[in-house]
Chains A and B, each alone.
Chain A
């Protein structure tokens, strides 16, 4: 590259084999009361790409460097020992052979009931109980196989893995200098991962306690809660139930509670001003620089409304967010 642009590209494919697993060439009866020891049988692979690029430039009196990097790493389970399945559906649903790992399975949410009239005339058994627990605002699930009931045969992959680092990670770094000012900023972000809301983030009054503010502020509710015949006022979230994790709104992993995440976060940011040498030399100081820096100043992501930060895995949201720091400082060189 010419001296202004520099960069790297890496491709990698890490294969592992000999992962412990049960060998079941021989099926011993459960009645012998113990299972056979594991052997080194399975293999998996992570393959991906990392690339970074940097550009040095100058515009008038401003010198700047802009750089970006991206990393894509996808894990696949490769082979297990003589995999066995019952039929083609079992193979599709449960096989890991040569398949991405961590796939998030669930139900697809196709909308919310708009009225009691719609519920009564709905031909699909949405809650498994003849729709008797359904109210306007409740989640409607897609009956993928068309049999009129919502069960395991209607589950499909609906999201990227939620239990590991994002598949795609990227960063942007900027540094600039203008006369006595200097500026540095580092963004990092990720994509191709999911955040799943569960427990306190999904069930209103989970464990008779918590209610997420977002659930209350914009929800389906009756105009007069004491009059069961009053009109329904639409909202975003379903009508509140009390600690009813078994209700069909909450007892399934669905696309409603899953967020396909992308985020970008200003991780470090620093602005500094160096005093003119003429001034500082009088005090026998070589350099005096004032600066402000911050860590985790803000992030742009889809979870802001829910009040959790994007870099957590906990489905119940019960985790401290990363700290936001602002520092003021002086560099002195003698």
Chain B
């Protein structure tokens, strides 16, 4: 009787092993990093800049899209494999750099465990030394320098610059409570540009806001921004 009981319990317990929700392993390797220029991150608007990871060796071909966050960082949770990282040419306020290994702008990524990879790109402009101040009547002023990085045959003009203010940490042309823009043609001195905007009455009351400068390049859909800064009203 004891033997029989043991056999029964043995069969029963073998089934407890398969009690999980899924019998596939989830991806576990993190590929993360930032889009940078000389080590400095490229700040963009959320959901607007993405790049692609292609994994050769499968039966069909489609990309994994990786989104670049506002501060230029990205993160993807993947399986270990060899990936090709491609930033499509119309993505981002920048041009891709030539990758020596692949002799193109494709970056070869061999993922085996977690990996940190900063991707160097060449932005058309960088927003330098952004400084934000608040005057008494809720006027937020930002001053900065617009440095043209790409000159020569690939250079592009500034279409407009703008200052955006929002209640939350997400600040751009669609997420703001107040914005003021200035056409590129009306900028007198690229080294000192000053923009200001008035923050309306915020309900519920909030004593701080988040602010950024955005720069729109002619012929390029994605803007380049300054880092998000929290200012007290």
| Residues of A bordering B, CB below 8 Å | 1-2, 5, 7, 9, 11, 48-49, 51, 70, 72, 74, 76, 82-92, 95, 98-100, 103-104, 116, 119-123, 125, 128-132, 134, 144-149, 151, 153, 156-160, 192, 228-229
User: Max chain B CB contacts within 10 Å: which of A48, A74, A145?
Assistant: A145
Please report the C-alpha to C-alpha distance between residue A83 and residue B59 in the assembled complex, in whole angstroms.
Answer: 8
Q: How distant is A19 from chain B, measured CB to nearest CB, in Å? A: 20
24 contacts between A and B (CB under 8 A): A1-B4, A5-B1, A11-B11, A51-B12, A76-B23, A86-B62, A87-B54, A98-B23, A99-B22, A99-B23, A100-B22, A120-B169, A125-B47, A128-B47, A131-B169, A134-B168, A145-B77, A146-B30, A147-B66, A149-B46, A149-B47, A192-B19, A229-B204, A229-B205
Please report the C-alpha to C-alpha distance between residue A157 and residue B64 in the assembled complex, in whole angstroms.
Answer: 19
One of A89, A130, A145 near B75 (C-beta < 8 A): A145
Please report the C-alpha to C-alpha distance between residue A324 and residue B11 in the assembled complex, in whole angstroms.
Answer: 37
One of B8, B55, B167 near A132 (C-beta < 8 A): B167
Please report the C-alpha to C-alpha distance between residue A99 and residue B67 in the assembled complex, in whole angstroms.
Answer: 29
Q: Are B205 and A153 in contact (CB under 8 A)?
A: no
One of A5, A82, A123, A145 near B76 (C-beta < 8 A): A145
Write out the residue numbers on chain B whose beta carbons fall within 8 Å of the beta carbon of A228.
Answer: 203-204
Please report the C-alpha to C-alpha distance between residue A85 and residue B78 in the assembled complex, in whole angstroms.
Answer: 15
Residue of B nearest to A10 (CB): B11
Q: How distant is B231 from chain A, measured CB to nearest CB, in Å? A: 13
Q: Are A92 and B79 in contact (CB under 8 A)?
A: yes
Is B32 positioned at the interface, with any CB of A under 8 Å from its CB? Answer: yes
Residues B193-218 near A (CB distance < 8 A): 203-206, 208, 210
Q: How distant is B81 from chain A, measured CB to nearest CB, in Å? A: 6
Q: Given that A125-B170, A145-B77 are contacting pairs, would A159 and B21 also be in contact in the complex, using a CB cutoff of 8 Å?
A: yes
Q: Are B204 and A9 in contact (CB under 8 A)?
A: no
Task: Kindly supply a per-residue 1/0 record for chain B positions 1-26, scoring 1 wherever the CB is within 8 Å of any chain A CB and 0 otherwise.
Answer: 10010001001100100110111111
Residues B66-96 near A (CB distance < 8 A): 66-67, 69-70, 73-79, 81
Q: Are A84 and B169 in contact (CB under 8 A)?
A: no
Q: Are B78 and A89 in contact (CB under 8 A)?
A: yes
Beyond contacts A70-B12, A92-B25: 6 other A-B pairs, Cβ-Cβ < 8 A, are A48-B15, A87-B53, A87-B62, A122-B168, A228-B204, A229-B204
Please report the C-alpha to C-alpha distance between residue A148 and residue B175 in the assembled complex, in whole angstroms.
Answer: 16
One of B30, B32, B175, B208 near A130 (C-beta < 8 A): B175
Please report the C-alpha to C-alpha distance between residue A48 and residue B70 in the assembled complex, in whole angstroms.
Answer: 50
Write out the residue numbers on chain B whose beta carbons fall within 8 Å of the beta carbon of A49.
Answer: 11-12, 15
Please report the C-alpha to C-alpha distance between residue A314 and residue B174 in the assembled complex, in whole angstroms.
Answer: 39
One of B61, B73, B170 near A86 (C-beta < 8 A): B61
Residue of B nearest to A227 (CB): B204
Please report the C-alpha to C-alpha distance between residue A324 and residue B166 in the assembled complex, in whole angstroms.
Answer: 56
Please report the C-alpha to C-alpha distance between residue A159 and residue B22 in the assembled complex, in whole angstroms.
Answer: 9
Write out the residue numbers on chain A whose beta carbons fall within 8 Å of the beta carbon of B175.
Answer: 129-130, 132
Q: How distant is A251 from chain B, measured CB to nearest CB, in Å? A: 16
Q: Are B69 and A88 in contact (CB under 8 A)?
A: no
Interface residues on B, range: 35 or more
Please report the C-alpha to C-alpha distance between residue A228 and residue B205 in the assembled complex, in whole angstroms.
Answer: 9
Please report the C-alpha to C-alpha distance between residue A145 and residue B172 in the assembled complex, in whole angstroms.
Answer: 23
Please report the C-alpha to C-alpha distance between residue A151 and residue B66 in the assembled complex, in whole angstroms.
Answer: 11
Contacts between the two chains (Cβ within 8 Å), count: 148
Task: Kindly supply a per-residue 1/0 record for chain B positions 140-183, scoring 1 wherever the CB is within 8 Å of any chain A CB and 0 otherwise.
Answer: 00000000000000000000000000111111101100000000
The secondary-structure label for the interface of chain B is: loop
Please report the C-alpha to C-alpha distance between residue A103 and residue B210 in the assembled complex, in whole angstroms.
Answer: 41
Please report the C-alpha to C-alpha distance between residue A122 and residue B172 in the assembled complex, in whole angstroms.
Answer: 16
Q: Are A87 and B69 in contact (CB under 8 A)?
A: no
Q: Given that A131-B168, A159-B21 are contacting pairs, would A89 and B70 also be in contact in the complex, using a CB cutoff of 8 Å?
A: no
Residue of A nearest to B21 (CB): A157
Q: How distant is A255 from chain B, measured CB to nearest CB, in Å? A: 11
Q: Given that A116-B204, A158-B21 are contacting pairs, would A90 and B170 also be in contact in the complex, using a CB cutoff of 8 Å?
A: no
Q: Are A84 and B77 in contact (CB under 8 A)?
A: no
Q: Are A131 and B170 in contact (CB under 8 A)?
A: yes
Please report the C-alpha to C-alpha distance between residue A74 and residue B23 in the assembled complex, in whole angstroms.
Answer: 12
One of A72, A90, A132, A149 near B69 (C-beta < 8 A): A149
Q: Are B79 and A88 in contact (CB under 8 A)?
A: yes
Q: Given that A9-B11, A86-B62 are contacting pairs, would A148 and B67 also be in contact in the complex, using a CB cutoff of 8 Å?
A: yes
Q: Are B46 and A148 in contact (CB under 8 A)?
A: yes
Q: Given that A1-B1, A72-B15, A120-B206 are contacting pairs, would A89 and B27 also be in contact in the complex, using a CB cutoff of 8 Å?
A: yes
Write out the residue numbers on chain A whose beta carbons fall within 8 Å of the beta carbon of B69.
Answer: 147-149
Q: Are B70 and A103 in contact (CB under 8 A)?
A: no
Please report the C-alpha to C-alpha distance between residue A83 and residue B58 in the assembled complex, in whole angstroms.
Answer: 10
Residue of B nearest to A120 (CB): B168
Q: Are A2 and B170 in contact (CB under 8 A)?
A: no
Write out the residue numbers on chain B whose beta carbons fall within 8 Å of the beta carbon of A192.
Answer: 19
Please report the C-alpha to C-alpha distance between residue A125 and residue B167 in the assembled complex, in whole angstroms.
Answer: 13
Q: How distant is A12 from chain B, measured CB to nearest CB, in Å? A: 12
Q: Are B62 and A125 in contact (CB under 8 A)?
A: no
Q: Given that A130-B175, A159-B21 are contacting pairs, would A92 and B60 also be in contact in the complex, using a CB cutoff of 8 Å?
A: no
Write out the residue numbers on chain A whose beta carbons fall within 8 Å of the beta carbon of B168.
Answer: 119-120, 122, 130-132, 134
Write out the residue numbers on chain A whose beta carbons fall within 8 Å of the beta carbon of B75.
Answer: 145-148
